[in-house]
Amino acid sequence: MAGRTINLTIAGEGFLHDRVPVTVLAAKLEALQNLVYHAAATIRRDKTARRGPWINRYRQIAELTFVCSHHSQLAVEAELPEAEVLSPDFDTGQQALDLIFKAGEACEQSPDSLLQLLPDIQDRTFILRSLEGLCPSPLEGYRVSLENGSQQHPTMILTGEIRQKIRQRISDAITTVYEDREPETLVGVLTKIHVEVAPLKIAIQLSSGMEIDCYYEESLRDQITNLLAGSTVEVTGVVSRDMNERIKQIDRILDIDTVGTEPLRLNRIGRVTLKFPVLFNVEYLDGLWLYRNEELNLWGRGNRREKALEDLGDNFDYLWREIAQEKDEHLEKKAIEIKKKLLTLVGETHAG
């Protein structure tokens, strides 16, 4: 059996000089603790509702405590409480760590591997949602690593790509019930949150002014609880429409993300890897995503984030062709400044 410590490391090109924002560190430590609690509940085969102060049942065996940190890359070491029993066969905390690493490995294998490890859909969804919370988004240029020094537990590396795989595993399990409807994504302002009262739902107001009820399952409760009314959220789920094809409600939320207004650090634009991350302001206006960097006079927009990023890549290619590769005598003063910045970011040749 593995040891009782777990190391969380946050690193990547998305952070200048490996300086990790405190908000990112706090969010990932909370996600790690939630994962351990849910793993312990799974080991105990606890089928009672995981709401309210349910984690109090597991604090004595699964609450992590800080041990130390290392600064070359931000690494935090935490450990479980001492085992309450002599036999490792009944050590819930250690078995929970074992389950976490097995689940992370299964996520990268075939869907059958995850089904064999976690046959109960509720347990499986809780673990997957918790692992998802540890992953960065696909747009963030960093990775989160978990290890605990055991040869039985290879280092688990969580990236934006792994997060997409995890979301697909969750979506596959849910959409089999709604085979006739493809998931859709809506963006709106969060107006209502029902957590401790039935039915479990939120409501969002679209840019058209229409308010849409969105229903969720118990496994999303942790994420829903951390949402703030008045924030803009992106909700993906199974949609119901009326006879006129107007949206009535979301019958089942698959994914939900807060639309952040803080600048986004990108270390890759299109096919080009930059020498250091660049900040882009992020806005969502009138149904369109907008990524903008004023210094480079570079922007991208689209009705989905993916489309806006594609547009950003196309506009970057245009700047490279028309400005970075042009002779200075053919450029105005502002364009020359942009050219210098582009060459500093990429170098003399286009990485794509």
Residues 5-22: tens digit of each pLDDT? 999 999 887 676 667 888
Helix segments in 118-220, DSSP class H: 121-134, 160-175
Domain boundary assignment for the chain: 5-177, 180-258, 264-346
Work out the mean pLDDT of the chain and round it to a whole number: 85
Measured CA angle at 190 (ends 185, 193), to 5 deg: 110
Average pLDDT of span 315-338:
91
Query: With bands split at pLDDT 50, 70 and 90, how would you rate the model's confidence at 1?
Result: very low
Query: Model confidence over 46-78: pLDDT tens digits?
Result: 888 777 788 899 999 999 999 988 766 788 999
Which of residues 261 and 301 earns the better pLDDT score? 301
Residue 182 pLDDT greater than 80, yes or no: no
Report DSSP state, residue 322: I
Q: Is pLDDT of 165 > 70?
A: yes
346: left (phi over 0), alpha (psi -120 to 50) or beta: alpha
CA dist 79 and 277 (Å) reads 33
Per-residue pLDDT of 262-278, as tens digits, reads 677 787 887 788 888 88
Query: What's the CA gap between 313 and 300, in Å, rounded?
Result: 8
pLDDT at 96 over 90: yes
Sheet holding 74-79: strands in order across?
A: 65-70, 74-79, 5-11, 143-147, 156-158
H-only helix segments in the chain: 22-43, 59-62, 92-107, 111-117, 121-134, 160-175, 221-225, 305-319, 333-346
Q: Which CATH number fits domain 180-258: 3.40.950.10, 3.40.50.720, 2.40.50.140, 2.170.130.10?
A: 2.40.50.140
Predicted confidence band of residue 351 (pLDDT cuts 50, 70, 90): very low
- Segment 251-267 mean pLDDT: 79
How far apart CA 24 and CA 264 sit, in angstroms, is 13
177 pLDDT more than 70: no
More confident site: 207 or 235: 235
Question: What integer pLDDT is reported at residue 198 of this predicted model?
Answer: 81
**Percent of the chain's residues with pLDDT above 70:** 90
* Cβ 141 vs Cβ 14: under 8 Å: yes
Helix, strand, or coil (residue 27): helix
The rounded percent of the chain whose pLDDT value lies above 90 is 36
- Please give the Cα distance from 64 to 88 (Å, whole number): 18
CA atoms within 13 A on the CB side of 197: 4
- Please name the amino acid found at residue 277: P
